[in-house]
Amino acid sequence: MSSSSEGNRLKHVISIAAITLWMGWAFQRIWSVVSDGHVPAAYIPDSAQHLAYSDIIALYRTRFLYQHTLPYIHNRIEYPVIMGIFMWLTSLPHGLLPYFIITSVVLYAMALVTYFMLHHLVPQKAVYWAVLPLLVVYGLLNWDLLGIAFMVVAWRSYQVQHWRRSGVWFAVAVFTKLFPVFFLPFIAAELWRQGRTRQLGRMVWAFGAASVVMNVPFMIANFPNWALFYTFNAGRALGADIYSNRWIHGIPISTANLFSLLVTVIAVVWLALRVYQGGRVPEATAYAFTIFLFVNKVYSPQYTIWLMAFALLADWPVWTLLLLTLSGIADYINSFTEIHFIYTQSSALSWYTREIFNLGLLFRYSALVIAGLGARFATAPPSRYPASRL
């Protein structure tokens, strides 16, 4: 056996062990707050206090998953259709514990799928997906691992030139969580540059057909429920984001939406032109997503794990991955401490917000800028891709 094969086997053992540790720890930590098998009335403040909150638990009650009603047809779900269907399927066994176990096992499998896909795509960096501890705080916070796994499978299919399969997988990924859509304009720019218009057409048709199959039945059955993902996010109030500071007061939601959209579209168009000139798709995608996170009106803490996935695919330097990990963990602690104080109406809320929370936001956004600029100006060439840079 070659030393290379032995090295890969050791990396796989370490990575599988690390993912198992992080996801097992996440399960134990979250379930410890739900001792009687029911979602407590005070679940949000209690779980936030113990740094053990999970949308998977909270939405079981607030989205009436225990009633097993059909998503979008009889139940309102503010997520794209694949995630809503997944939430419904995992809730079919009666009881909170079976639902949480099944969900956790599937998301654990998705974390493993992501690692092995990354091993094929960026073999020198895949291990960081496993060993860096973002999975312990974000692996079971939401259903993000489902969308991330579909996205890396889609990108892997594209890399091996399975055009229709890639289009279908990208459709599944986008309608699990919208973020994989950032790949699509840059893929189109690359295929157009290479003169592969037929291949681009196959991807577009496959993506479109899969999107129709997944969405149109729900659109026909109950359009308002199906459209909730879009209307909910359009009307969503400003959260703990770049707009939460003393220099901006009372900015309308529509203004924040428009500003975020314009900046993101300008960035995507500029980066697509760079890809058309020879830049790399994963780099452009990671930069576009970073810019989007910076200007978006809502920054949920788990978005950092998406940025980690994009950064790994783009082969960002290791120090940027470490910075994102530190920022993600600090953001998790900071956000849920603030949530606990808000829900309990603590007298410490005003002091914490003024002295600590806003410093945490500054660290979050500084980490985005530093990591993005650091990756942009890194001198080391990518480990697998051609040396052309954006």
Using pLDDT thresholds of 50, 70 and 90, give the confidence band for residue 390: very low
Q: What is the pLDDT of residue 245?
A: 66
pLDDT at residue 214 is higher than 70: yes
Residue range 352-379: average pLDDT?
Answer: 89
pLDDT at residue 386 is higher than 50: no
Q: What is the pLDDT of residue 387?
A: 38
pLDDT (tens digit, 9 = 90+) per residue, 25-57?
A: 999 999 999 977 788 889 999 999 999 999 999
> Rounded to the nearest 10 degrees, what angle do helices 144-159 and 303-313 cross at?
20
Q: What is the pLDDT of residue 388?
A: 39
Residue range 165-194: average pLDDT?
Answer: 98
pLDDT at residue 238 is higher than 50: yes
- The residue among 180, 133, 365, 172 whose CA lies nearest residue 288 is 180
Mean pLDDT over the full length of the chain: 92
Lowest mean pLDDT among 38-42, 59-63, 185-189, 301-305: 38-42
Cα gap 256→235, rounded to integer Å: 11
pLDDT (tens digit, 9 = 90+) per residue, 307-333?
A: 999 999 999 999 999 999 999 999 999
pTM: 0.94
Q: What is the pLDDT of residue 8?
A: 84
pLDDT at residue 383 is higher than 50: no
Using pLDDT thresholds of 50, 70 and 90, give the confidence band for residue 377: confident
3 state SS of 75: strand
Torsion region of 24: left, alpha or beta (phi above 0 gives left; psi -120 to 50 gives alpha): alpha
Question: Are 307 and 350 spatial neighbours (Cβ–Cβ below 8 Å)?
Answer: no
User: Which string of b and e fits 60-76 if b means at least 16 CB within 10 Å?
Assistant: beebebeeeeebbeebb
Q: What is the pLDDT of residue 273?
A: 97
Percentage of the chain modeled with pLDDT above 90 = 83
Q: What is the pLDDT of residue 2?
A: 63
Q: What is the pLDDT of residue 384?
A: 41
Lowest mean pLDDT among 24-28, 171-175, 297-301: 297-301
Residue 2: which residues within 8 A CB-CB, separation 6 or more? none
pLDDT (tens digit, 9 = 90+) per residue, 261-272?
A: 999 999 999 999
pLDDT (tens digit, 9 = 90+) per residue, 141-159?
A: 999 999 999 999 999 999 9
pLDDT at residue 133 is higher than 70: yes
pLDDT (tens digit, 9 = 90+) per residue, 50-86?
A: 999 999 999 999 999 999 999 999 999 999 999 999 9
Alpha helices in the chain (DSSP H): 3-31, 43-49, 55-62, 81-91, 96-121, 126-131, 134-138, 144-159, 163-174, 183-193, 197-221, 223-226, 228-235, 253-276, 281-295, 303-313, 318-343, 349-352, 358-376
